[in-house]
Structures are given as structure tokens and as C-alpha cells.
Amino acid sequence: MDLLSYWRLNERPFEPTWDTRFFFEGREHDEALSRLGFLVSERTMLLGMLTGEVGCGKTLTRAVFSDHLSPDRFCVVTLENSSFRFNDLLELVLRALDGEMPGRRGKLARYDSFLKLIERLAAEQRHLVLIFDEAQEMSPATLTELKQLTNLNRAGKGLLTVILVGQPELRERVARLPAINQRISLRFHLHPLTREEAGKYLRHRLKAAGHATGELFAAEAVDRAFEASQGVPRELNRIAKLALEFAWVQEYPEVNSIAVDAVVRDLRQHQNLPQA
């Protein structure tokens, strides 16, 4: 019997995908979505920043946030890689908005094209939301140049909202740049899950994968997985995935602490799982 049949699943529940069906709306993630929603609905706050430790769910959170925005009211452009110069990032945004535009040369031409596009969106009563993921990779010069975009407004309403998403060092980088730091109207930092949330998280993903109840991890197994992962969703996924496979091979009736402990020992010995 294969793993899915053994655990009565339709698909694997702990794969490293950005499938929004597996999004767990814990307290922190719910708050992040609410704040980001407020940011774009106001249309006067211009610039926001979402940060969090590696593996805490920033990318999936911003994907869910984008999905929640009505295409009749918003136009969302997300750039997964923000390490380019400002001029190149502007070109990528233009391509996302209007496809290839041959013959456009220089920063002024690109800026003029961008202005025409967002004015067209404004005429359609749609607000542009630009999301720059991995924004900690932006150079200080690129971050500073972003303020040009926040100057675009009409009748007291911004024509667009810029959201920076990145790791904790983004906060430090922005703090050293007053020109951009003072323009950030909303900030939120995602923290790891709590112990209670870790159990709900595992159950949620199992149910999203087709299990009837999501009750496959014994309480002690959840405790061990939480301690080893320190509540970081990506690490919790890694441990849960391997523990599910270990318990299947051993033909355990559920994923118990023996399975989790075996996986954690192996990860600490051969991979990069930190000591709790």
C-alpha cells in the first residue's frame, strides 16, 4: 500500500509548494492579511512592508493576499526577484502590465510609459498594487529610488501602493534610509507559530490533502515537531513530511513521537536542522 492510501490522503500534505489551499490562517497570518488589506483599500498609505524569518510563510501570505483582491478594483503585479536595479524593476513591471514594448529606451521613457499605464488603470477605477518579494536583496540606491513611485497621486489618493516583502534584514536596511523609511505607512513582522497553532497547522494541511479529520499526529509528536522546528512553518513541513513517511514504512497507526524523534535526529546529524 502506498503512502497516500495508507494515510487516506488524496495528495501529499507537506510539500514545499505555494498552493494557497494549504495556507493556514494563524493569528499572525490573519493579522498580516488584515493589515495589508487595509493598506491597499485606503489608497493613501503608499508604501507597506511585510517581513518575517526565513520559512515563516511570507510568500504564501502575500499570494493569498493577492488572490483576495478583486480584479475589478485592483491590478496586482508581483516580482519574485527584487535584486535588480530600479530601472530594470520598472521594466519588469511594465512588461507585466503591458507586455513587450519595443523601442522604449532609458529611465525617462520607462517612467513616462509607467505613468500612462497607471493613469489608464485609474481611469478604469483600478488601483495598482506592486509587490516586491525578497526585497532585502534591493540595493540602497534601488530602495531610495522607489520613493519616485510614491509621489504619483491624484486628488489626494495614491495611484498605486508598493509593498516590500522580505527577511528581517530588510527592516535594518530600510531604517538606514530615511527617504524611504519615513514613507512606510504600515509594517508587520511575521513570527513563528505557537504550540497550539502548530497542531492546528498540521491538521489543516492534512485535511486540505484529503484526510477526513486531519488527526494523524499524536499530541506528543506535535510537541516534539514544534520544539524541533521552533514553530517555523517550513521546518515544521519538513519534519512532518519525513515523519509521515517514517511512520508509514514502520506501519504505525499514527505518526507518533518515535517517528518524529527519528526524523529530528537524522536532520540534525545530516542536514541543517538547528538544535532546539
50 and 167 in a common domain: yes
Residues 6+ apart with CB under 8 A from 137: 81, 82, 83, 166
185 and 243 in a common domain: no
In a domain, 17, yes or no: no
Number of structural domains, the chain?
Answer: 2
145 and 72 in a common domain: yes
Amino acid, single-letter form, for residue 158? G
123 and 139 in a common domain: yes
In a domain, 21, yes or no: no
- Single out the residue in 190, 208, 236 at which a domain terminates: 190
Whole domain around residue 48: which residue ranges? 27-190
217 and 102 in a common domain: no
In a domain, 112, yes or no: yes
In a domain, 173, yes or no: yes
181 and 47 in a common domain: yes
The CATH number linked to 118 is: 3.40.50.300
User: What is the structure's pLDDT at 7?
Assistant: 98
85 and 173 in a common domain: yes
Residue-wise over 131-163: b if at least 16 C-beta within 10 A, else e?
A: bbbbbbbbeeebbebbbebbebeeeeebbbbbb
Amino acid, single-letter form, for residue 145? E
Mean pLDDT by 10 residues, the chain (276 residues): 96 91 92 96 91 93 95 95 91 84 69 89 93 95 88 74 96 93 94 96 97 97 97 96 98 98 91 63
User: What is the structure's pLDDT at 49?
Assistant: 97
- Single out the residue in 151, 166, 190 at which a domain terminates: 190
In a domain, 18, yes or no: no
66 and 146 in a common domain: yes
197 and 170 in a common domain: no
- Single out the residue in 174, 190, 206 at which a domain terminates: 190
User: What is the structure's pLDDT at 47?
Assistant: 94
User: What is the structure's pLDDT at 276?
Assistant: 57
57 and 182 in a common domain: yes
Residues 6+ apart with CB under 8 A from 253: none
In a domain, 63, yes or no: yes
User: What is the structure's pLDDT at 238?
Assistant: 96
173 and 203 in a common domain: no
User: What is the structure's pLDDT at 109?
Assistant: 84
User: What is the structure's pLDDT at 217?
Assistant: 98
In a domain, 155, yes or no: yes
197 and 184 in a common domain: no
In a domain, 143, yes or no: yes
The CATH number linked to 217 is: 1.10.8
Amino acid, single-letter form, for residue 256? N
